[in-house]
């Protein structure tokens, strides 16, 4: 039996984007009571917990990732009492609750920034990153915003520039100031004392900046762009060595871990966007004194071949030491994997095989809402685009709205999400994959995901075992998971053609949910989009 203190280690966490989960009050926007209403469904998947994207008070310039009050709920989503009700119901169902913490920056409407921008002498004058212009009036350096343009905006009141790695409305806090660090730790303590089970830490490697404000170097010609930004964005043309992932961040993560250790059973998962993401993941989660786990964009980008996935796992294994990853194929910031990886594949079989692979990796797993339904990226016409990122880079990058559209609970016109027109349109293709339709089919992807999560839980080697890659050719992905006396060989055919391979060791096929691999002597036959799990001698 796994120690409940370490529930997160190998756990499956279901990400909920509150705006698009369920509208309970008929305003076209999802809310906390709507989430509470559907928690029984989430629990039925067999997941260990939920991660809630931001629901805090916000002007919504970036849909809640611009916070103006860290300790209250935006009226759009309900009240603090609604959150407490959600928390109680989740815990009664055995679900842990992780909430987003966006502490690297605030809204420009936050009282801290309103005070800081008044002049250079107020009590919070140094709480944000302010810098004088160059003699010619231009920004202090060449740092760029992920959302386009310079990362600096001039404020005439202070006659200085302020830093914003994202929107102009999202000024960056100055983590070199210990008062800022203490204030954000205190905000997190508020939620821990309320009973939350942990935090997903937005842009966890963005907290500190280079105090000397040195320019970032250009990316060398031919050097791979590894950040999670689209190639149409000039942000990917720099090597981000001075604006993010500064060494001072490690000491703050230790401070944060000390806070978490005051609340046994809580956890942290950090989002890392970096030029060297796997190295950073290993650095931030190793040693047991920083983050509990982290995820990168290595499986959230376009490459998806077995050879590529093999290389990602191999590189992490080489760097990891005792670090613990959290893997994801989709989230609220990237094109849904059913389209990003599977646009040219079988729309029913491909999502199942990729989720089987995800649920077999060493580490914890984040499952994004609708992923269990196999939802493709939604088609959102330009006139309905809400995402500021998409508005800036359209049409080369259409923003993140396509992965944020409402969950289809039923196959009626609004998908059972709302009684009125939702904030983003429901894609008619999604209605064919509605929860109500899939609940009625024993062989649906939804029921397959339930079976796969149960299968993972039945085998300690899958949720907490070591992993050793095996070489079975470039067309298949294979690895051995091992825990105590259980040794499982996991083989995945992610393509549309049947494949065959020789087993590296003798084993017996397990009855894996919904898969039909065949073993003849030591030759494994895998139909298209099939997995095989073998218990090794």
Question: Please, what are the averages of pLDDT over each run of 10 residues along the chain (537 residues)?
Answer: 81 98 98 98 98 98 97 98 98 98 98 98 98 98 95 97 97 98 98 98 98 95 72 88 98 98 98 91 94 92 92 91 92 95 95 98 97 97 86 77 97 96 97 98 97 97 95 94 96 97 92 93 94 95
| Rounded CA separation 408/431 (Å) | 6
**Whether residue 344 sits in one domain with residue 266:** yes
| Rounded CA separation 210/165 (Å) | 13
Query: Residue 323: its pLDDT value, please?
Result: 87
**Whether residue 447 sits in one domain with residue 477:** no
* Domain CATH for 517: 2.60.40.1180
Query: Residue 232: its pLDDT value, please?
Result: 73
Catalytic pick among 202, 275, 387, 427: 202
Is 442 domain-assigned? yes
Is 114 domain-assigned? no
**Whether residue 315 sits in one domain with residue 344:** yes
Scored b (16 or more CB within 10 A) or e, 313-330 reads bebbbebbeebbbbbbbb
**Whether residue 195 sits in one domain with residue 81:** yes
Query: Residue 104: its pLDDT value, please?
Result: 98
pTM for this model (two decimals): 0.96
Which residue among 399, 427, 453 closes a domain?
A: 453
Strands 69-73 and 152-155: unpaired
Query: Residue 322: its pLDDT value, please?
Result: 85
Is 386 domain-assigned? yes
Structural domain boundaries enclosing 509: 466-536
Is 207 domain-assigned? yes
Scored b (16 or more CB within 10 A) or e, 82-92 reads bbeebbebbee
**Known catalytic residue at 458:** no
Is 215 domain-assigned? yes
Among the listed residues 312, 278, 290, 291, the one whose alpha carbon sits nearest the alpha carbon of residue 477 = 312
* C-beta separation of 342 from 386 below 8 A: no
CA distances for 350 relative to 356, 445, 528, angstroms: 10, 10, 9
**Whether residue 349 sits in one domain with residue 222:** yes
Split into its structural domains, the chain has a count of 2
**Known catalytic residue at 311:** no
Among the listed residues 444, 449, 447, the one whose alpha carbon sits nearest the alpha carbon of residue 432 = 444
Query: Residue 1: its pLDDT value, please?
Result: 44
* Domain CATH for 235: 3.20.20.80
Among the listed residues 473, 458, 483, 453, the one whose alpha carbon sits nearest the alpha carbon of residue 524 = 473
**Whether residue 429 sits in one domain with residue 317:** yes
| HEC readout, 309-365 | HHHHHHHHHHHHCCCCEEEECCCCCCCCHHHHCCCCCCCCHHHHHHHHHHCCCCCEE
**Whether residue 531 sits in one domain with residue 483:** yes
Which residue among 453, 481, 507 closes a domain?
A: 453
Catalytic pick among 262, 314, 421, 522: 262
Is 54 domain-assigned? yes
């Amino acid at each position: 039996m796994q120690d409940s203190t370490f529930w997160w280690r190998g756990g499956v966490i279901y990400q909920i984007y509150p705006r698009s989960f369920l509208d309970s009050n008929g305003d076209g926007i999802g809310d906390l009571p709507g989430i509470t209403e559907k928690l029984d469904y989430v629990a039925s998947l067999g997941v260990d917990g939920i991660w809630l994207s931001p629901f805090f008070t916000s002007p919504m310039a970036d849909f809640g990732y611009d916070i103006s009050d860290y300790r209250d709920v935006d009226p759009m989503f309900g009240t603090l009492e609604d959150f407490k009700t959600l928390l109680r119901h989740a815990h009664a169902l055995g679900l842990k609750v992780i909430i987003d913490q966006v502490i690297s920056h605030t809204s420009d409407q936050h009282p801290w920034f309103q005070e800081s921008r008044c002049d250079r002498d107020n009590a919070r004058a140094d709480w944000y990153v302010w810098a004088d212009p160059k003699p010619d009036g231009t920004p202090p350096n060449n740092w760029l915003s992920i959302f386009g343009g310079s990362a600096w905006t001039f404020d005439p009141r202070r006659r200085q520039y302020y830093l914003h790695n994202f929107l102009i409305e999202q000024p960056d806090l100055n983590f070199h100031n210990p008062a800022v660090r203490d204030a954000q730790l205190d905000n997190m303590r508020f939620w821990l004392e309320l009973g939350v089970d942990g935090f997903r830490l937005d842009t966890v490697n963005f907290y500190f900046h280079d105090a000397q404000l040195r320019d970032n170097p250009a990316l060398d010609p031919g050097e791979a762009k590894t950040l999670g930004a689209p190639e149409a964005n000039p942000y990917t043309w720099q090597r981000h060595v001075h604006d993010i992932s500064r060494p001072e961040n490690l000491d703050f993560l230790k401070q944060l871990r000390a806070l978490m250790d005051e609340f046994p059973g809580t956890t942290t998962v950090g989002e890392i966007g970096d030029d060297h993401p796997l190295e950073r993941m290993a650095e931030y989660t190793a040693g047991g004194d920083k983050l509990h786990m982290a995820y990168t964009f290595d499986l959230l980008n376009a490459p998806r071949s077995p050879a590529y996935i093999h290389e990602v796992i191999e590189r992490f294994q080489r760097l990891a030491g005792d670090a613990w990853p959290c893997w994801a194929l989709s989230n609220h910031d990237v094109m849904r994997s059913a389209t990003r990886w599977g646009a040219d594949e079988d729309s029913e079989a491909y999502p199942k095989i990729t989720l089987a692979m995800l649920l077999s990796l060493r580490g914890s797993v984040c499952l994004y809402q609708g992923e269990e339904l196999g939802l493709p990226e939604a088609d959102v016409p330009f006139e309905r685009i809400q995402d500021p990122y998409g508005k800036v880079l359209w049409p080369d990058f259409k923003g993140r709205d396509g992965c944020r559209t409402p969950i289809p609970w039923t196959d009626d016109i609004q998908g059972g999400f709302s009684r009125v027109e939702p904030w983003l349109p429901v894609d008619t293709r999604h209605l064919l994959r509605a929860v109500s339709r899939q609940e009625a089919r024993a062989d649906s992807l939804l029921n397959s995901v339930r079976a796969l999560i149960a299968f993972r839980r039945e085998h300690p080697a899958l949720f907490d075992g070591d992993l050793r890659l095996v070489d079975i050719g470039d067309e298949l992905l294979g690895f051995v998971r091992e825990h105590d006396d259980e040794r499982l060989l996991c083989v995945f055919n992610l393509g549309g053609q049947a494949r065959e391979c020789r087993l590296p060791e003798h084993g017996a096929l397990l009855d894996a949910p919904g898969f039909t691999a065949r073993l003849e002597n030591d030759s494994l036959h895998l139909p298209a989009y099939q997995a095989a799990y073998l218990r090794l001698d």
